[in-house]
């Protein structure tokens, strides 16, 4: 499932809702051509939803809430698993270590249903071994907090833009079904011009509802300005590192002390800021979608 699929599925739901209203049916009901195209749409849309279920996609429309919930859940449960991994390694508990998923990409890049089940399994595993892990690594309060994140994600309506690893045949059938619905909606919109003069409000709503919603981007721009804690002077020797899953993103400051990341994943990220002669600073940043994110970090001299 990609962002365009999500955008289309949201539009389809809006089109279906509009055309099934009693007031809409009263307008186009006597137009045999439009009514026939609409009937084809309902059949094709039902077929698309059926094929979506086969590939593990819930076509109830994209929601930024569920997408953000998935990112936050993945980051937090992966972090706790990482702490647990270190403790279990010290104890020589290799079998337990092997069961842990310690990268946020282990949750973000799989189907929503599977991500929720996996996160819950990790929570339950950590909870069952809480005494072994000790509060220095994982606490009951942390597990309670992450359980709320899991519940929020699982219960949120809609779907995310994550990819789904399924049969290539089923995936092709799923994407082909989109093309069928698209063609039918194009026909409906063309025939809808018949109502442009007689029922302009219905026509305008038809045009509006068949316009694709904006595609949600997962990556955006992050700018970090690094200054001295005392005096607020820029530090042109500063560097920043952000670890996202198995990827390390590093950047150095320019002459005005600005560290630029032109493409960074949205959501909660942790940046490590360093510079010669200054104490290292760990900063949690919530990176907003579809906008530049500018923050200032102060470093204390050693």
Q: Does the pLDDT value for residue 297 go beyond 60? A: yes
Q: Where are the domains of the chain?
A: 3-61+160-209, 64-155, 219-299
Q: What is the pLDDT of residues 64-75, one digit of tens each?
A: 678 788 888 999
Contact 251, 275 (CB under 8 A): no
- What pairing do the DSSP bridges indicate for beta strands 258-265 and 267-274? unpaired
Q: What is the pLDDT of residues 173-202, one digit of tens each?
A: 888 899 999 999 999 999 999 999 999 999
- 36 sits in which H/E element: helix 32-54
Residue 250, φ and ψ in degrees, nearest 5: -125, 145
Within 10 Å of residue 35's Cβ, how many Cβ atoms?
A: 15
Which residues are within 8 A (CB) of 45 and not within 5 positions of it... i.e. 6 or more apart? 12, 16, 181
Please name the fold of domain 219-299. Answer: Immunoglobulin-like (2.60.40)
Q: How far apart are CA 75 and CA 69, in angstroms?
A: 10
Mean pLDDT (the chain) is 87
With H, G, I as helix, E, B as strand and everything else as coil, classify residue 49.
helix
Q: What is the pLDDT of residues 244-288, one digit of tens each?
A: 766 678 899 887 778 988 878 877 888 999 999 999 999 888 887
**Predicted local confidence at residue 71, as pLDDT:** 86
């Amino acid at each position: 499932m990609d962002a365009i699929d999500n955008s289309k599925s949201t539009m389809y739901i809006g089109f279906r809702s509009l055309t099934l209203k009693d007031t809409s049916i009263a307008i186009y009901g006597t137009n045999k051509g439009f009514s026939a195209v609409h009937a084809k749409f309902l059949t094709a849309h039902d077929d698309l939803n059926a094929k979506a279920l086969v590939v593990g996609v819930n076509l109830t429309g994209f929601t930024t809430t569920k997408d953000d919930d998935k990112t936050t859940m993945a980051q937090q449960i992966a972090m706790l698993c990482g702490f647990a991994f270190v403790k279990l390694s010290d104890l020589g508990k290799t079998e337990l270590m092997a069961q842990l998923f310690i990268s946020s990409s282990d949750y973000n890049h799989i189907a929503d249903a599977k991500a929720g089940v996996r996160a819950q399994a990790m929570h339950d595993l950590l909870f069952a071994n809480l005494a072994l892990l000790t509060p220095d690594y994982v606490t009951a309060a942390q597990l309670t907090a992450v359980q709320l994140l899991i519940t929020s994600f699982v219960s949120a309506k809609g779907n995310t833009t994550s990819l789904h690893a399924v049969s290539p045949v089923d995936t092709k059938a799923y994407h082909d079904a989109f093309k069928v619905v698209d063609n039918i909606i194009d026909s409906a919109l063309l025939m809808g011009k018949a109502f442009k003069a007689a029922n302009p409000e219905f026509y305008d709503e038809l045009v509006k509802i068949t316009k694709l919603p904006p595609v949600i981007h997962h990556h955006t721009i992050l700018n970090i300005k690094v200054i001295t804690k005392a005096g607020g002077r820029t530090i042109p020797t500063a560097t920043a590192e952000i670890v996202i899953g198995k990827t390390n993103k590093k950047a150095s400051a320019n002459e005005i002390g600005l560290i630029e990341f032109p493409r960074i994943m949205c959501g909660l990220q942790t940046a490590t800021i360093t510079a010669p002669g200054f104490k290292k600073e760990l900063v949690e940043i919530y990176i907003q979608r579809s906008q530049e994110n500018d923050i200032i970090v102060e470093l204390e001299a050693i």
